[in-house]
């Protein structure tokens, strides 16, 4: 089957994506607009030390223990924490690991559903808290998507949950937050972004409506790498 412009495609993205330097205050403004005051921030150890950057004014609880490539026990600790605080809004503040766990924290606590019951597409019963995503790495794109990945330590498989209920209500992307990322993580996330785009462009299910993002997305990491390795190289188009 060849995929053309008339091939059906279902595109989802957060209702609001705010991008740019200095956009972080939008988070509290949005909470005020929605009248949400009880907030759970889901962060890794590094980002937990700078939650003050979000300038949250409500009742704030921070889960500060998201591990890279989070596993089931890490998720279970978060769900137990979330069930105690019963937040009205969950903020994912970190890289893909924090944002993936934030998605699950917006749907699992108090639902009676376990992770294994929601693995796969559209098994989640409902969204139970508003979801705000604030990425601090570049590359996973988790802030804009509907999937969360959690490693099962028993099998070392990554369990993938996909649900429209895990789509962020708003994503606030301030690139200044990435300036503290260690070089190895910057490189790994750049390769992650590149791989996502190559995959989308070369997939048998590639679609013209996605190709434009994939092609531009492939140019950016290559441009940055060329500028770093060889600053005198002529610019790419």
- Give the residues lining the site for ligand NAD (CB under 6 A): 44-47, 68-69, 94-98, 100, 136-137, 139-142, 145, 147-149, 177-178, 180-181, 185, 188-189, 192
Cα–Cα distance, 84 to 82 (Å, whole number):
5
Would you say 37 or 162 has its CB closer to ligand NAD?
A: 162
Would you say 87 or 143 has its CB closer to ligand NAD?
A: 143
Q: How far apart are the two ends of the chain, measured CA to CA in Å?
A: 32
Buried (b) or exposed (e) across 124-137, using 16+ Cβ within 10 A?
beebbbbbbbbbbb
Q: Is 57 exposed, middle or buried (0-12, 13-18, 19+ CB in 10 A)?
A: exposed
CB of 102 to ligand NAD, least distance (A): 11
Distances (CA, A) of 42 to 1, 55, 134, 224: 42, 15, 10, 30
Would you say 30 or 93 has its CB closer to ligand NAD?
A: 93
Cα–Cα distance, 154 to 151 (Å, whole number):
9
Residue 197 corresponds to which tokens in the numbers above?
């785009």
CB of 180 to ligand NAD, least distance (A): 4
CB atoms within 10 A of CB 43: 27
Would you say 13 or 84 has its CB closer to ligand NAD?
A: 13
CB of 52 to ligand NAD, least distance (A): 15
Cα–Cα distance, 93 to 77 (Å, whole number):
17
Cα–Cα distance, 129 to 228 (Å, whole number):
42
Would you say 198 or 233 has its CB closer to ligand NAD?
A: 198
Would you say 82 or 177 has its CB closer to ligand NAD?
A: 177
CB of 87 to ligand NAD, least distance (A): 21
């Amino acid at each position: 089957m060849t995929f053309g412009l008339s091939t059906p495609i279902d595109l989802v993205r957060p209702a609001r994506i705010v991008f740019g330097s200095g956009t972080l205050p939008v988070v509290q403004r949005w909470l005020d607009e929605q009248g949400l005051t009880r907030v759970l921030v889901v962060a890794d150890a590094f980002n937990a030390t700078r939650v003050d950057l979000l300038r949250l004014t409500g009742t704030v609880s921070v889960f500060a223990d998201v591990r890279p490539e989070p596993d089931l026990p890490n998720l279970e600790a978060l769900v137990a924490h979330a069930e105690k605080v019963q937040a009205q809004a969950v903020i994912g503040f970190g890289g893909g690991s924090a944002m993936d766990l934030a998605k699950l924290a917006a749907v699992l606590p108090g639902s009676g559903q376990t992770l294994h019951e929601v693995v796969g597409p559209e098994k989640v019963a409902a969204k139970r808290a508003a979801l705000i995503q604030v990425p601090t790495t570049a590359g996973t794109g988790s802030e804009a998507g509907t999937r969360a990945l959690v490693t099962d330590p028993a099998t070392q498989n990554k369990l993938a949950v996909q649900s429209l209920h895990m789509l962020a209500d708003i994503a606030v992307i301030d690139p200044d937050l990435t300036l503290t990322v260690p070089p190895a993580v910057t490189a790994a996330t750049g390769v992650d972004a590149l791989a996502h785009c190559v995959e989308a462009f070369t997939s048998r299910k590639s679609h013209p409506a996605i190709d434009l993002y994939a092609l531009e997305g492939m140019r950016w990491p290559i441009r940055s790498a060329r500028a770093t390795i060889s600053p005198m190289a002529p610019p790419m188009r």
